[in-house]
Amino acid sequence: MSESSIQARIALVGNPNAGKTTLFNSLTGQNQKVGNYTGATVSRKSGTFLTPHGHQFELIDLPGAYSLQPNSPDEKITRDVLVGEQEGEAPPDLVLCVLDACHLERQLYLLLQIIDLGHPVVAALNKMDSAEGQGLRIDPTALSEDFGVPFVPICSATGRGITQLKHALRHPFPRPPGRLWKGPAELEEAIGKSTRASEEAGACHPVADGLMNVAKTGSETEKLIQKIRFEYIHRAIEAGLQRPDEAALELTDRIDAHALHPFRGWAIFASLMLAVFWSIFRFAEIPMGWVEGAFEWLSGTVSGAIGEGDFQSLIVDGVIAGVGGVLVFLPQIVLLFFFISLLESSGYMARAAYLMDGIMNKVGLSGKSFLPLLSGYACAIPGIMATRTIPNAKERLATILILPWTSCTARLPVYVLIIPLIFAGAFNQGLALFGIYALGTLTALIAAKILKPRLGQTEAPQFLLELPPYQKPQWGHVFRQVWERAFAFIKKAGTVILGLSIILWFLNTYPKSESEDPTVQQEQSFNGRIGQAMEPVVAPLGWDDRMGTAMMASFAAREVFRSSLAISYATDEEDGEALRDQLVASTRDNGAPLYTPLVGLSIIVFFIYALQCLPTTVVVRRETGSWKWALGQLTGMTLFAYLAALLVYQGGKLLGYS
């Protein structure tokens, strides 16, 4: 549908964990668009939907906020959009405020603030099923009377009440109720005066402006207004909400008695993480076999259909070997994202952040840094974006600087290729993968400890976190997240990696040598020459020229290391053996095996520490506003990776390992 058919713009607002994103997905379905706010890296998610009355509305998903006094860059966007101060974004025609029915009293504060702004508002009472399950009795009619806006009970996860909500979003919208509370005479006089001043100054929303200007006059006035609002909510809730007896120990409390226990909590956390890594190795094998089989079949079919020559080599050794070599890891990436989404959706992640706060505090960070660091295991870019929820700027910078050391999924193809060269058996391999992740994390924390005091004096980080109740995972949301990440990975394989595979194939094939010997051809090629030039640099790490070339190529994207080796070794491929078998079989000039466990370890250590991802550097530049931090991080991490790999290989050799 065209932009012009949109009849109104609705802003979707709510506290974090109120179920805003699920409601956004239920209302808009596939009609979504993701962009950026002008001058900010906060993404702008919008979508369209049709009401039963045939009106088409645009829905804008604003970042979650507890109030309109922003404590983080994300919350500032929400406030600025609602008060009409966000560049390039007109104020919304209506605000759809999502309230978690289980925590209604606390969430009504944001609703009251939005009503004060003078917008037409519809309140969606989300998670009604859970509230009823907890024995809460909510009277939407009484609440509607008290707040002057429609309250629609819904459950966005199951779709209950969505049609009624669409009915409530009737066009033309109801008149805004205006400010509901009254303060003492002095305050009212000050608000009146300020409103008149705003009117004279030609403000679009003089009433809202007047109130905000009064609140800004001093912390005592702000405190008084906050207190009056909470007193209003307190009175309203007496009629609109009945609580159950608290005698029954809720399921969440029972689980938390173990999950947050100083010892048992850690045992549960470590077991969960270990189970995730073991499952990645154990369960991904089968679908990986399918993908491998499909690419082998494709390779065979294409070889048969196209006559021997450069074109066949480009398609089979370049495109299919390069793209297939990376796509084979799709099942593992899907599994990792599935587990991360599952833990997030069930409410466990906040518990992990609570447990980790003790450790984070020892290195000068807080539990708030844990969630961005954890997102970094999936991909550094969303992790760096997620640091926006950290209120303290120094803590935020320190988290951004250490974040690429939490191993992202792009490294997974390299780890999975190399680990079996060192360890046998799914359990040992899973343990090794767990160790890799632990080593990256530990180094990141030590780096934070060293970095943080050097970033300048700052107040100690404060920890304040909501622990949402445990709930059944919202499968729709989980699968949507997994699909989005899987699609992004497939897209990357089909664009960046495809392009780089073709370039790598070209560099590996030309210039042609007179000799028919593939080894001579490899040495003659551009790649061979780059590798020979790189050899003195990588030889102290125990690597050969092909690994050097692959490492250079992987600075564009880590997965290309796998593709580059696949393309390099395709030249001496005899009967379609898997790449790993070829690596095991490859030897040095003196006949000694090349890929020994020590060399494998040196490669892994290099990949744990090297920042080989240009998009990450660009995002760090955007978030920190300076090339100094971005390039400093890139250089520092690359040097550290080289030195660490050097130490492992040379140290290992001194200890008698080969």
Partner 1 sequence: MPILASDLERDSALTLSQAAIGCEFQIREVEGPACRQLRDIGFCEQMRVKKLTNGRNMLCTVCGTKLALSKDLANQIRVVPA
**Chain residues that interact with partner 1, rule: CB under 8 A:** 66-67, 69, 71, 102-106, 109, 134, 136, 219, 222-223, 226-227, 230-231, 234, 243, 252, 256, 260, 354, 357-358, 361, 366-367, 391, 459-460, 462-469
**Do residues 564 and 547 lie in contact, with contact meaning Cβ atoms separated by under 8 Å?**
no
Closest distance to partner 1 from the beta carbon of 112 (Å): 12
Q: Which is nearer to partner 1, 25 or 72 (CB)?
A: 72
CB of 229 to partner 1, least distance (A): 8
Closer to partner 1 at the Cβ: 112 or 436? Answer: 112
Looking at the Cβ atoms of 4 and 219, the one nearer to partner 1 is 219
> In which residue are the tokens 């990440």 written?
485
Burial (CB count <10 Å: 0-12, 13-18, 19+), residue 134: middle
Asked if 295 contacts 320 with a C-beta cutoff of 8 angstroms, the reply is: yes
Write phi, then psi, for 119 (nearest 5 degrees).
-90, 150
By beta-carbon proximity to partner 1, the closer residue of 150 and 347 is 347
CB closer to partner 1, 91 vs 469: 469
Q: How far is the CB of 242 from partner 1 (least distance, A)?
A: 12
How many CB atoms sit inside 10 A of residue 460's CB? 10
Strand 241-242 relative to strand 137-138: parallel, antiparallel, unpaired? antiparallel
The answer to whether the CB of 146 falls within 8 A of the CB of 240 is yes
**Residue showing tokens 């702004």:** 117
If we measure between CA atoms, which residue out of 556, 43, 623 comes closest to residue 384?
A: 623
Q: How far is the CB of 220 from partner 1 (least distance, A)?
A: 11
- Nearest approach in angstroms of CB 69 to partner 1 is 6
Choose between 467 and 490: whose C-beta lies nearer to partner 1: 467
| C-beta closer to partner 1: residue 102 or 444 | 102
What region, left, alpha or beta, does residue 161 occupy, with left being phi > 0 and alpha being psi -120 to 50 degrees? left
Q: How far is the CB of 173 from partner 1 (least distance, A)?
A: 27
Q: How far apart are CA 256 and CA 112, in angstroms?
A: 32
Question: What is the smallest separation between the CB atom of 653 and partner 1, expressed in angstroms?
Answer: 45
Alpha-carbon distance of 486 to 335, in angstroms, equals 10
Contact assessment for residue 54 and residue 62, using Cβ atoms and an 8 Å cutoff: no
Euclidean distance between CA atoms 443 and 105, whole angstroms:
43
- Residue 347: which of 102, 165, 108, 153 has the closest Cα? 102
SS3 588: coil
Structure tokens at 460: 């100690």
Minimum CB distance to partner 1 smaller for 460 or for 520 = 460
Residue 13 CB, nearest distance to partner 1 (Å)?
14
How near is the Cβ of 467 to partner 1 at its closest, in Å?
A: 4
DSSP bridge pairs for 124? 98, 152
Please, what's the b/e burial string for 611-650 (b: 16 or more CB within 10 A of its CB; e: otherwise)?
Answer: bbbeebbebbbebbeeeebbeebbeebbebbbebbbebbe
Q: 442 or 460, CB closer to partner 1? A: 460
CA distances from 459 to 223, 400, 405, 655 (A): 23, 18, 25, 46
**Least distance (Å) between residue 137 CB and partner 1:** 13
**In the complex, minimum distance from the CB of residue 382 to partner 1, in angstroms, rounded to a whole number:** 24
CB of 105 to partner 1, least distance (A): 4
Q: Say how many C-beta atoms besides its own lie within 10 A of residue 370's C-beta.
A: 22
Angle subtended at Cα 373 by Cα 633 and Cα 431, rounded to the nearest 5 degrees: 105
Cβ-based nearer residue to partner 1, 71 or 217:
71
9 forms beta bridges with 58
Task: Pull the structure tokens for residue 658.
Answer: 């080969």
For partner 1, give the closer residue by CB, 33 or 223.
223
CA atoms in the 13 A half-sphere facing the CB of 391: 12
Output the smallest distance, CB 255 to partner 1, in A: 11
- Distance from C-alpha of 360 to C-alpha of 399, rounded to nearest angstrom: 10
Question: Do residues 328 and 299 touch, judged by C-beta distance below 8 A?
Answer: no
Q: Which residue from 55, 22, 174, 180 is spatially nearest to 113, judged by alpha carbons?
A: 180
Pick between residue 136 and residue 203 the one whose CB is nearest to partner 1. 136
CA-based radius of gyration for the chain: 29
Q: Which helix (H) or strand (E) holds 368?
A: none
Q: What is the CA angle 574-592-555, rounded to 5?
A: 70
Report the residue number, 238 or 577, with the smaller CB distance to partner 1.
238
For residues 303 and 316, the answer to whether their CB atoms sit within 8 Å is: yes
Give the residue with the Cβ less far from partner 1, 295 or 470: 470
Q: Are 547 and 536 in contact (CB under 8 A)?
A: no
User: Least separation, in Å, of the C-beta of 11 and partner 1?
Assistant: 19
